[in-house]
Structure 1
Amino acid sequence: MIKGRQRFLGALLLLACCPTAGAKPIKVLTEHLPPYQIDTRSGVSGFATEVVRRTFEIAGIPYQIEVQDWSRAYQRTLRQTNTCIYSISKSTERTPLFQWVGALASTITSMYSLKNRPDIQLKTLEDAKKLVTAVTKDDITHHYLLKHGFKEGEQLYLLESVTTMLNVLQGRKDIDLVLINDTILKYRALESGVPLEALQKQMEVTDLPLDFHLACSLTTSTDIVTKLKTSLQQLKDSGEFSQIIAGWADKLK
């Protein structure tokens, strides 16, 4: 009887100290977005992926990363329990839609055209409304331009994935501009076969810095989100976050 009670108390203690033991892995959704997250045959790598992996590992939370088109990842995270997403930009409109774990990176966003389009000379965002800009559906750039009066099917051409963005710009005469992260641009150019020299930066969108974050759905356990926040902050305070940045420094320029 005593031994049975001891085993029972031991099991309770194990559950109390190890709440994630045997727990179903958290779904962590993302898109192929070099150099932040890179989908390869051997798995997902990249600067942000490395940070996210270490954040979950330090927190002791099981996880599973899935790569898919951004719009699908975004919509799934809005709807599903115990689901997180990265690298997602934070905006005033998005703030109440997710539980925000913390920032992973920050970069600049710009409007680009082909260099062989001397007819395009942007000085303000209003100038771009006379043209057609390609953006990824449900990306922060899509939501930003909608907020500033751009209309889908008129001034906006929506893509399911950023992968084909530069090919669309080069191959379709009815697409004039793309709005894209400056760091990502060189990787998209390499993957698409569109040379960087063929592109012209028209203007930086100064009020649209891309602050990439790890975030989770509103129905994800608050205990899990709190642990992830603590873990990410620990990663930064210990200097390991800076070491990860240093390891990717040449690719984050």
Structure 2
Amino acid sequence: MRISNFIFGSRSRRILLAVMGLLAFAMGSSTASAGGKLHIYTENYPPYNTSTNGKSYAHNEDDISGICTGMVKAMLSRVDYDYVMKMRAWSYAYDWVQGRKNHGLFCTARTDEREDLFQWVGPLASIKWTLFAAPDSDIQLSSLEDAKNLRIGGYKGDVMSEYLADHGYNVVMSVSGDVNPRRLVLGEVDLWVTDGLVGPLVAKDEYDIEGLRPVLVFRETPMYLAMSKETDPAVVADLQKALDEARSAGELDQIVAQYQ
């Protein structure tokens, strides 16, 4: 009797341990496939991404809204991954996500120069590369070449600013794009390069400046969620699938309609 109890007990323990091992393996596999928590960053770039707390930064998704933000949230609601969303200065966030697993940044313009730096989920929305002049400016441009000798307000890490700088234009860089409307009306720069929707909103919200003159639209670029190269491609594929499903369901069009 004692021997049979000992044998049964040992066998039961072995079975229990085996089951627990399988459960642990399954849970571990699930965690591995999910890749862990996602860290998603954005910048204050209304109407695509904007803080609801009146600040240029935010620590959680409840304080972030906008066109692209709504699209990314719709996508993330269709996957099982835990995530955090934060708003930071663009140059900081752009450098921070690179080299870090499960880190991503939106809305990021997908260009040839950036193509191999990230894994891409999108498209989300598109930006129109626009040169703005001050309300009282008489600057007229028929082509981008006409701006060659003018001072153009831009900011570090911005794709439009860096494109112009790389092509020989006189771009006066700042840390954040929010200061450029003021620099424009003070005459510190002749033009300001930014998105066609963003420019008037930032000028109004930050400095109560109205009447900026869009003098040239010279390019249009789709924007994406840029995930780090270190992120598991399976995670990126899941995010893309979720975004595609949200688009097919009409959710993305509904988000855009809210801002029109």
Q: Establish whether TM, by shorter chain, passes 0.5.
A: yes
Conserved? CA contact 2:74–2:251, under 8 Å: no
Measure the CA separation in 2 of the matches of 1:2 and 1:220. Answer: 36
One-letter amino acid of the structure 1 residue matched with residue 214 of structure 2: K
The reply to whether residue 203 of structure 1 matches residue 216 of structure 2 is yes
One-letter amino acid of the structure 1 residue matched with residue 146 of structure 2: D
* TM-score (ref. length: structure 2): 0.84
The reply to whether residue 233 of structure 1 matches residue 244 of structure 2 is yes
Deviations 1:96-143 (A, max 9, x none): 11111111101322111113222x222221221111000121111112
The reply to whether residue 243 of structure 1 matches residue 258 of structure 2 is no
> Which residue pairs with 2:173 in the alignment?
158
How far off is 1:244 after superposition?
2.3
Q: How many residues align?
A: 239
Structure 1 residues 121 and 239, CA, compared in 2 at 3 Å: closer, same or farther? closer
> Which residue pairs with 2:185 in the alignment?
170
1:177-196 alignment, distance < 5 Å: 177-196=191-210
**Is the partner of 2:163 in helix, strand or coil?**
helix
**Is the partner of 2:123 in helix, strand or coil?**
strand
> Which residue pairs with 1:56 in the alignment?
76
The reply to whether residue 46 of structure 1 matches residue 59 of structure 2 is no
1:107-118 alignment, distance < 5 Å: 107-118=127-138
Gaps of 5+ in 1: none
How far off is 1:184 after superposition?
1.0
State percent identity of aligned pairs. 27
**Is the partner of 1:242 in helix, strand or coil?**
helix
How far off is 1:242 after superposition?
2.2
Deviations 1:126-177 (A, max 9, x none): 2211110001211111121023222xxxx11002111111011112x23100
Query: Which residue of 146, 168, 176 corresponds with 1:149?
Result: 168
Measure the CA separation in 2 of the matches of 1:187 and 1:114. Answer: 14
Structure 1 residues 232 and 210, CA, compared in 2 at 3 Å: closer, same or farther? same
Conserved? CA contact 2:110–2:224, under 8 Å: yes
Deviations 1:171-213 (A, max 9, x none): 2x2310001111112311221234332x2221111xx213111
One-letter amino acid of the structure 2 residue matched with residue 101 of structure 1: V
RMSD of aligned alpha carbons: 2.0
Measure the CA separation in 1 of the matches of 2:161 and 2:200. Answer: 20
Larger radius of gyration, structure 1 or 2? 2
How far off is 1:9 after superposition?
2.2
Deviations 1:200-249 (A, max 9, x none): 221111xx213111111111222211111111111112222222223x23
> Which residue pairs with 1:79 in the alignment?
99
Structure 1 residues 85 and 127, CA, compared in 2 at 3 Å: closer, same or farther? same
Measure the CA separation in 2 of the matches of 1:71 and 1:128. Answer: 25
Query: Which residue of 18, 26, 44 corresponds with 1:32?
Result: 44
How far off is 1:40 after superposition?
2.6
